[in-house]
Amino acid sequence: MTTKLFGEPVRRREDARLIVGKGRYLDDIGHTALAAAFVRSPHAHARIVSIDVDAALDVEGLVAIYTYEDLVGPMAEPLPVLIPHPQLTAPRTGYPLANGEVNHVGEPIVMVVATDRYVAEDAAERILVTYEELPAVVGVDAAHEARHAVHDDVPDNVAARHHQETGDVEPALAASPRTLTFTQYIERSASMPMEGRGVHARWDADDASLRVHTATQASTSVRAAIAAKLQLSLDKVEVVAPDVGGGFGVKIMHPWPEELLVPMAAIALGADVKWSEDRREHFISSAHERQQRQEITVGFDDEGRLTALDVTVWHDNGAYTPYGIIIPIITATQLIGPYVIPVYRVRVDSVYTNTVIVTPYRGAGRPQACYAMERTMDRIADVLGLDRALVRERNLIQPSQFPYDAHLTFQDGRPVVYDSGDYPGLMTKLKDLVGWSETSQLRDDAAARGRLLGIGMAMYVEGTGPGPYEGGHVQVLGSGKVLVATGLTSQGQGHETSFAQIVASELGVPIEDVEVTTGDTRRFPYAVGTFASRAAVMSGNAIALAARGVREKALRIAADVLEASPDDLEIEDGVVQVKGVPGASIPLRTVAVLSNPLRYAFDEAAKQATQFTTHDDSKPPVAPGDAPGLEHRDYYSPLRSTFASGAHAAVVEIDPATWEIDVVRYAVVHDCGNVVNPMIVEGQVHGGVAQGVGGALYERMAYDADGQLQNASFMDFLMPYASEVPDIDIDHQSTPSPLNPLGIKGAGEAGVIPGTAAIASAIEDAVGRRITSMPISPTELYDLVRSPDSELTATAVRRAGTGAMA
Amino acid sequence: MNLDGSAVLAAPPERVWEVITDPAVLARTIPGCESLEQTGDDEYRMNVTVGVGAIRGTYAGEVRLSDQQRPSSYVMHASGAGAPGQVRATVTINLEPDGDGTALTYSADAVVGGPVAGVGQRMITGVAKRMAGQFFSAIDQELSGAGMVPIESAPPAVAAGEAAAVAAPAPTVFAGRAGVSAGTSADVQTLALGAVGGALLTLIGVLFGYRLGRRT
Amino acid sequence: MSTVDTERTITVTVNGVPREATVPVRRLLSDALRHDLELTGTHVGCEHGVCGACTVLVDGDPVRSCLMLAVQVDGRSVTTVEGLARDDHQGGSVLHPVQEAFRECHALQCGFCTPGFLVTIAAGLDERDASVELTEEEVDDMVGGNLCRCTGYANIKKAVHAAAAAMREAG
């Protein structure tokens, strides 16, 4: 049996419990806990006048009611700004419970604790809050217009002005042979994992310690936040991420008010407390992302080569800025994609609105960036009458140009330097995969069936695996079991499998012996979190390094026992043997036992390690600088992010009677360097593409002018079912990363990044009208096509001229 | 924490003072009062059952009076304890003429400790105010003549005459809600006084005696 | 005034085992299964009947347990994901072909929507003639009513085919 599993589509270890319903998600634990529910603001912007709890007191089973007045010390301070930045000049955050003012529908005001959730909601319903309503600011346009302010002391509603430039763009534009300017919008969507958020807290009064389970992507950071806010010593707080039903970014945001309040209540009441949100709560009190207004001016020549690019973005950050300006930075830096752009300037105004906060959703600003760049390339091609693939090809960074310094600063504070890639290779593969050259044939065939057909493409480069670090711990037990731990978390990415593959490969043990734990501060306390497609890159490498440390120690100990040189040894199937000498071997588990010299023999295996069994009088049992046990802890800290890339193409058919948009073909070429488990990576791409299609055609948070979210349920916020997701053709390319030992790049977000851009391009190609706002519904498409004000593409005009279908 | 409140009662201060010094009245107007017992000069003990939400149980409280200025004011010192918490409070009670009636104001300064302090300020003050409101409504009914209960024969130990004759006062116990009346000795009056303020405050103190972990 | 609801004691056969529970009449079936009977395999994704994560079988038919009251299954039989595996009469259990297929085809990632899919597809496959080849329409029917945010559905559809093939082979 081979133990070289790196790169193999190993079936997942976690599935065994998940397919029989034995997963342990947050709401599955704590059956006897008290339940928390919240009174949340029904208004987008208001002052709280009074809170009357009298009617709630009649509810049988009520235990506690908390308002802002019950918060003391750091809990009474605003929630943290997690990622400060010098350009974030007007950061604002809320309070765990509203302090006199609410700034979005859904903001928590009162926490109720009762014997169960039904009772807690009964009590919450009876609490009477009176408000003085204030004008609400909704959408980037209203925010920028600033007739009203979300925060009184930020009258222009601008939280930050993010600005990067690589040269002097205005003269460069002026000197360009051609320029074009356009404005487009992309609308708000959200991660929307199938499991909402939840927190369970248990306080042990005997040793004054707190254990919190939370459906989070960042358990170590939640731990630090809880300790700080509740004024507990860090060593008295443990945070565990249980099985988590999807995150997609929304669970990276922390500390949620609930993550602080539920532990606070557990301590105050001396009882376990649990909060498990319902779907409406998730819609109105978690986080959204994506809305931007983009104004783009590009300079180019007659061949379609870029000379200068100037982008101004208004980014909707919602009511508060707890996550800083990470998304604006990512949009700003990832916008350039795979292209050589001689001069680039980007300015992103991050503006406040009276809506739910904006924190990363898979892609985290890259879908918007891709939409900006790729639609620019489409327009250049359109104006010049050139093939859209050709224009892109003419601007691609060439393989010989790596490492490619883009002269920008990334979200990790480090320079944007593309480490490796083959963008022309992506394009070649994509055209092949989707049948780019056959499009006019496809168009004619569709026309014969009475359908409009269009094709679009989009390319992207994705910075993945930012630091500062992740760590791994690998330990071989005397039983032969190999325990692996890392601090970041899992929400379905198959870490228990892919990390086990790495250890099995590095150490030479059967994968069945390897057990991986993620996201538990008791097992690994130093970590950053799961986001930015970094888990495999960061923890994968750290775990590999830790495994190598274990291997080295194992060989050293075994070499002693086998009286051989470590160089002559290999480990396979959990047995250390002298290469080429079959009889000379020792099981790794025995090495583990021997690594810990014992006085007391607890079992048969331990007997081998006791002082009367193994002795060398000339040396101490544990050598100076060494430690007992066959384990090793190591960290991977990257110099910079590593840059994955890809290209997607979509073919759409539109029914000119109903204007329904059908994605009939979807092609993906994907490069994430070396791959640990290709089955898992492909699964990530599938899921990302579904979210890309969803974001392009179906998903939009519909706020009205008063800041009411009109579609706060799955009935009206449309996510793709199986019927909406096209079959996906995938081809791979692999340009390994030179930055980390395993040569891997991140893959988690790739699938979603170019979806909106590629589908917008395809729809525009099909109907010949300029698409300037996404997502687009059949009704909106119908209106667009009918409207005398909508812009015809030059391509459409040309096709009409030649008699071909426009 | 502070708890302030007021009530308007339908009788002048002198009359109010009389009523709220009647232990039989108190026993039936203090919400949840099971018994009142004099334990010394101006000192009383009582058992009260509270039943609101999770603040529920039977608790014992002690009250001591001071600074009595009939009929306008007195101060009460109360403490109450139960398994999960305790309270200590000082309450100033004022009676002022208000037309034909009395404006009664109380101002309590309380320290709440133990797990029960963790149920949140609004719940604590909400329950306390509600019970105070119930108490004053009941007093108001007494003042208007409603709610009088016929005097039942008391057990010998609490015969008014005997109680008056004892120098060191024997513990005098008044059953709650059954409306057993007692005599009108000065001892009884101070007891009653203590009872009303004590009821109020011990009430609050009692509310803080809160038992968690009731769920099965 | 108290808000404790009228309670009712119900008897329901869950995964072949008679279970009794005393529940408030307003208790949802999903909550009763998860918290009163401690069968947490059934998950709640939306509580308004759209996502399908809470799907269980009531008398063999897929039902949104978040849209049913527990008292409605009094005297009836319920199958949850925990009941899909069959007892092998040797002290262990045999997974339903759809469960095996899901693992084989990587048809689950976070696993939260999975029980709803498994129960629905199992019902669909069990009620049809296994010897007949599965059509795309049948697949679409079996997977079309449940939301998954992780997988993009491609592998779920593959798993349905794989399960049907396994059942056809098993004869």
Domains observed in chain C = 7-83 (3.10.20.30), 86-170 (1.10.150.120)
3-state helix, strand, coil in chain A (%, to 5): 30, 25, 40
Burial environment of residue A643 by CB neighbours within 10 A (0 to 12, 13 to 18, 19 or more): buried
Task: With H, G, I as helix, E, B as strand and everything else as coil, classify residue B36.
Answer: strand
3.40.190.10, 3.90.1170.50, 2.40.110.10, 3.20.20.80: CATH of A32-134+197-244+251-285? 3.90.1170.50
Q: Could you report the per-residue pLDDT of A573-583, keeping only the tens digit for each?
A: 999 999 999 88
Give chain B positions within 8 Å (CB) of A268.
115, 117-119
Q: Which residues of A touch B (CB under 8 A)?
A: 32, 34, 51, 53-54, 57-67, 69-70, 114-115, 265, 267-271
Calculate the alpha carbon distances from A123 to A111, A279, B42 in Å.
Answer: 10, 19, 41
3.30.2130.30, 3.40.50.720, 3.30.365.10, 3.30.1360.70: CATH of A292-466+639-801? 3.30.365.10
A744: which strand partners?
A673, A674
Q: Could you report the per-residue pLDDT of B126-135, keeping only the tens digit for each?
A: 888 888 888 8
In this model, does residue A85 exceed pLDDT 70? yes
Phi/psi class of residue B14: alpha, beta or left (left: φ > 0; alpha: ψ in -120 to 50)? alpha
In chain A, ranges of CATH 3.30.365.10 domains:
292-466+639-801, 467-636
Within a 10 A sphere around the Cβ of A635, how many other Cβ atoms? 17
C94: which strand partners?
C86
Using CB atoms, pick whichever of C44, C108, C109 lies closest to residue A19: C108
Going along A62-177, which residue ranges are E strands? Answer: 62-66, 101-102, 108-114, 128-133, 158-165
Using CB atoms, pick whichever of C103, C150, C155 lies closest to residue A492: C150
Q: Could you report the per-residue pLDDT of A223-280, keeping only the tens digit for each?
A: 999 999 999 999 999 999 999 999 999 999 999 999 999 999 999 999 999 999 999 9
In this model, does residue B208 exceed pLDDT 50? no
Q: Could you report the per-residue pLDDT of A359-400, keeping only the tens digit for each?
A: 999 999 999 999 999 999 999 999 999 999 999 999 999 999
Peptide bond into A587 cis (omega under 30): no
| Residue with token string 């760049």 | A373
CA distance A411 to C110: 27
- pTM of the predicted model, to two decimals? 0.91
Torsion of CA B207, B209, B214, C3, to 10 degrees: 0
Using CB atoms, pick whichever of B84, B120, B130 lies closest to residue A64: B120
Strand order in the sheet with A128-133: A101-102, A46-52, A128-133
Supply the mean pLDDT for chain C.
95
In chain A, ranges of CATH 3.90.1170.50 domains:
32-134+197-244+251-285
Q: In this structure, which topology does domain A467-636 adopt according to CATH?
A: Aldehyde Oxidoreductase; domain 4 (3.30.365)
| Residue with token string 């397919």 | A19
CA distance A595 to A600: 14
Supply the mean pLDDT for chain B.
69
Using a pLDDT cut of 70, give the percent of chain B over it.
Answer: 60
Q: What residue in B sits closest to A34 (Cα-Cα)? A: B215
* C-beta atoms of C42 and A725 within 8 A: no
User: What average pLDDT does range A467-496 have in this prediction?
Assistant: 97
C interface test, pick of A194, A666, A749 with most C CB neighbours within 10 Å: A194
Name the token pair of A545: 């390094």
Does A715 reach chain C within 8 Å, measured CB to CB? yes
In this model, does residue B76 exceed pLDDT 90? no
Does A492 reach chain C within 8 Å, measured CB to CB? yes
Residues in chain C: 171
pLDDT band at A600 (very low <50, low <70, confident <90, very high): confident
* Chains A & C: contacts with CB separation below 8 Å: 179
Residue A606: the pLDDT is 80
pLDDT band at B77 (very low <50, low <70, confident <90, very high): confident
The lowest-confidence range among A12-16, A119-123, A582-586, A708-712 is: A582-586
User: For A656-714, what is the HEC assignment?
Assistant: CCCCCEEEEEEEEEEECEECCCHHHHHHHHHHHHHHHHHHHHCCCCCECCCCCECCCCC
Does A751 reach chain C within 8 Å, measured CB to CB? yes
C-beta separation of A690 from A177 below 8 A: no
